[in-house]
């Protein structure tokens, strides 16, 4: 079973629109960590955020914000006033504290295209 589901395969928006990328996860651990990574066309993986399961406060960093809802097992990512440079594949990932020794489970990614 998928531990991390990103149901949106591709999203296209026009510059300055807000866009939300969905992430739903599944785990039996009570302590776990959630991540978002950005993969621009150049191919590298850029770390964006890490949240632990005990901290449900939403976080804002510039135009980026994250909404963590344990009740729905979701960790959604919103980009406000999107820009062309935001075009990339975005991955949500889960790390469990239990037996899986720090490995990351990735979703399949959401390809975001921002048009000028």
Site residues (vs other proteins, CB under 8 A): 4, 6, 32-33, 35, 37, 43-45, 47, 50, 52, 91, 95, 97, 100-109
Q: Name the DSSP letter for residue 58.
A: -
Residues 6+ apart with CB under 8 A from 99: none
Q: Which is nearer to other proteins, 9 or 71 (CB)?
A: 9
Whether the Cβ atoms of residue 107 and residue 4 lie closer than 8 Å to each other: yes
Q: How far is the CB of 46 from other proteins (least distance, A)?
A: 8
Smaller CB separation from other proteins, 33 or 64:
33
Q: Based on CB atoms, which residue is closest to other proteins, 2 or 58?
A: 2
CB of 102 to other proteins, least distance (A): 4
Cα distance between residue 97 and residue 32, in whole Å: 6
Within 13 Å and on the Cβ side, how many CA atoms surround 108?
7
CB of 19 or CB of 109, closer to other proteins = 109
Cβ 116 to other proteins shortest distance, Å: 25
Structure token pair of residue 24: 């739903």
| Cα gap 44→32, rounded to integer Å | 25
Shortest distance (Å) from residue 58 CB to other proteins: 18
């Amino acid at each position: 079973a998928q531990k991390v589901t990103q149901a949106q395969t591709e999203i296209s928006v026009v510059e300055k629109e807000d866009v939300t990328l969905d992430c739903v996860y599944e785990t039996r651990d009570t302590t776990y960590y959630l991540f978002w990574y950005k993969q621009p066309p150049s191919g590298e993986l850029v770390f964006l955020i890490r949240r632990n399961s005990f901290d449900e406060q939403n976080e804002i960093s510039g135009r980026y914000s994250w909404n963590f809802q344990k009740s729905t097992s979701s960790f959604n990512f919103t980009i406000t006033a999107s820009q062309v440079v935001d075009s990339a594949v975005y991955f949500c990932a889960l790390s469990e504290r239990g037996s899986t020794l720090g490995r990351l489970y990735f979703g399949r990614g959401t390809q975001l295209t921002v048009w000028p």
